[in-house]
Amino acid sequence: MFYSFFYPVLLFFSLVHQNYLRVLVLMRLRPSLLMKAKIRPATHYSRACRLISLFDLYSLHVMSSYLSALYALRLFEKTRPLPYKQGEIMLLSRCLQEELFWRKSFVKVFIYPQADPQAEKVLLLHGWDGRSIMLRQMAQRLQEKGYSVYAPDLPAHGISPGKKVSFYDLSRAVMDMEKHYGHFSVVIGHSTGGLIGCMAALQGLFFKRMILISSPCCYGKMMDRYVCNNKLPKRIAGSMKKLYQLRYGVHPDAIGPELIGAITQPVMILHDKNDLSIGLDEALILSRSLEKSKLIVTEGQGHNGALRDPAVFKHISDFVSQTVHEDYSSFSEPKLILRVANNIKRHK
């Protein structure tokens, strides 16, 4: 609608903006580094793009609640492109890089390997709009401890292609990684990466231990928060959830403490007292729901600070070190609790 009409206009302004910077560089009024910048509406005019999208959404809501919910779910599942900088690519060049074929595309996987092929494997899952580079320091520390670490750019994130993806499909990508690389001893998820790991566990992902860092406790609450933060009509959230249930066979409100509580493996929950993105109350709910949980509350780390904090890594190191003495056979077979009904058409 209006977004499709105004996007070419924004693209024109972005090209003018880029040429203007190029002139300043040639006149030596700006550093030559600006020549590498690609100005695009989605990155440099994100506020304008968001306002136009919201105007479209309200216009659709006047005409049809179904159409508005369909458009809102599309916006909710749309990722923000964050290309890697040259310095970040150089940092990641020290690890192995593979492209795992996934649904006519691929998932980029960064591997911090061990010489011993029998070494315990750890899977690191970043959050929404995140990238594996955010977990690089943790991956390197775990590698130094003797673990083989797998840190993918999840579909539609980082180098992995795509513009939008559902949480269910992200969890299916994790399942496909297990099929390709074998069982992971430890699954570590940051932010929504923790929820994705839990969703995969409910579909049969096998592991010995899990660590949730600043993770939400319910998918339905995330949708509610999205609608609230964007000041949308509250009933849109209900319509979005019904659409999700039609597509994937499970209601978003059901992907919460009651289902997650079915995970029987030991789980460590790390959460900061002053996390402004996801409140501490969600970590408390997770801790009460899980049978074998260990809650550690930090202070002063915020939402992302724990990924770089040595004290937090000490807790993680102590927790995962016990997997060496554990065997998969000591845990019950994972239950397929969360799955798409066979008679429901998948959304593509």
The pLDDT profile of the chain, 348 residues, written as one tens digit per residue, is: 555 555 566 677 777 887 777 888 888 777 776 666 677 766 676 777 667 666 766 665 655 667 778 888 888 999 987 778 888 888 888 899 999 999 989 999 999 999 998 899 999 999 999 999 999 999 999 999 999 999 999 999 999 999 899 999 999 999 999 999 999 999 999 999 999 999 999 998 999 999 999 999 999 999 999 888 877 778 888 989 999 998 888 899 999 998 999 998 999 999 999 999 999 999 999 999 998 999 999 998 999 999 999 999 999 999 999 887 787 666 666 555 666 433 333 443
The reply to whether 74 falls in a domain is no
CATH code of residue 202: 3.40.50.1820
Total domain count, the chain:
2
CA dihedral 232, 260, 276, 44 (to 10 degrees): -60
Q: Are both 106 and 244 inside the same structural domain?
A: yes
Using alpha carbons, select from 347, 73, 80 the residue that is nearest to residue 227. Answer: 73
The reply to whether 81 falls in a domain is no
Place of tokens 């179904």: 66
pTM of the entire predicted model: 0.81
Q: Are both 11 and 90 inside the same structural domain?
A: no
* Axis-axis angle for helices 167-181, 192-201 (nearest 10): 60
> How many C-alpha atoms does 115 have within 13 Å on its Cβ side?
1
The reply to whether 132 falls in a domain is yes
Q: Are both 22 and 128 inside the same structural domain?
A: no
Range(s) of the domain holding residue 234 = 86-326
Q: Are both 107 and 26 inside the same structural domain?
A: no
